[in-house]
Amino acid sequence: MNENSRPRIPNEWVRYMYEKLESGELTYATVLKKVPYSYQNVTIFKQISRNTLKKAFKEIGGTPKIKSGPPQEELTPELILKVQNSYENYKCGVQKLYWTLNMNPKQFQISYNVVIKAAKFLGIYKEKDKSNPKAYYVDYEAILPNTIWHVDIHFLKEPETLPVYGIIDDKSRYLLALKLLCNKSSTELQKWQLQQFKNMEHLSVSGQIR
């Protein structure tokens, strides 16, 4: 089989993507997932490796810089101070520090590796912290109205047992409402709760509506 009798990546596409990648408008992770191969007026799309794309660029006279990965986040005094403040507030391990520091990703984000570096610098790092962090918050969409929140009930023991309930948004973990029922015992509170929410559909742990 000669060079002209097998599917090839169109040169026009290669040149276009070369320009987009060089300008930074696109990333290799995006481009490599869907690459056109044409042969006898038929085009198919497939995922290719960086080396294959690199070879295609060389064939059109281009030698783009293939980066091995995203730039490493540097450890700065400001980041060290943020980690230190979070540790002083929570007195916890690196994984929980990572969670608390990324609670509001639109306002501030920090990588797990940088948290580890800061923890080592501050002398609070432990060997068990070297594993990758587990997922803390799981995003989901409510499949029915009134299913995105739940009620937590706690009891204050001093000076007397008083029930407190709070309505919490499961997705953002924000407390939407809080009420102290000073005149109700725990038994009365359970009756009150059933009366208040008996017509509200909610999800069980397994995701079933009940």
Same domain for 206 and 145: yes
pLDDT at 50: 82
Overall domain count for the chain? 3
| Residue 67 in domain | no
> Does residue 71 belong to any structural domain of this protein?
no
Spatial separation of the C-alpha atoms in residues 209 and 145, rounded to whole Å: 12
Q: Is residue 65 part of a domain?
A: no
Residue-wise pLDDT for 148-190, tens only, equals 555 666 666 655 566 666 666 655 556 666 666 666 665 666 6
Domain contains 64:
no
- Residue linked to tokens 């060089």: 22
Q: 11-23 and 50-59 helices cross at what angle (nearest 10)?
A: 110
Same domain, 125 and 171: no
Domain span at 154: 140-210
pLDDT per position as a tens digit, 3-21: 555 677 888 888 888 887 7
Same domain? For 126 and 145 the reply is: no
Indicate whether 47 belongs to any domain. yes
More confident residue, 109 or 208: 109
Of residues 143 and 195, the one with the higher pLDDT is: 195
55 in a structural domain: yes
What is the pLDDT, as a whole number, of residue 84?
A: 92
Considering the domain architecture, whether residues 199 and 168 belong to the same structural domain is answered as yes
In a domain, 155, yes or no: yes
Q: Do 150 and 126 belong together in one domain?
A: no
Summarised one tens digit per residue, pLDDT across range 107-135 is 788 888 888 889 989 988 887 666 666 55
Q: Is residue 68 part of a domain?
A: no
pLDDT tens-digit map of 28-80? 777 888 888 877 777 788 888 888 888 888 888 766 554 544 455 678 888 89
Question: Among candidates 113, 18, 23, 46, which has minimal Cα distance to 74?
Answer: 113
204 shares a domain with 153: yes
Same domain for 126 and 144?
no
Q: Of 69, 97, 130, which residue is a domain's last?
A: 130
For residues 144 and 204, membership in a common domain is answered with yes
d(CA 9, CA 12): 9
Task: Say yes or no: 126 and 146 in one domain.
Answer: no
Q: Are residues 145 and 205 in the same domain?
A: yes
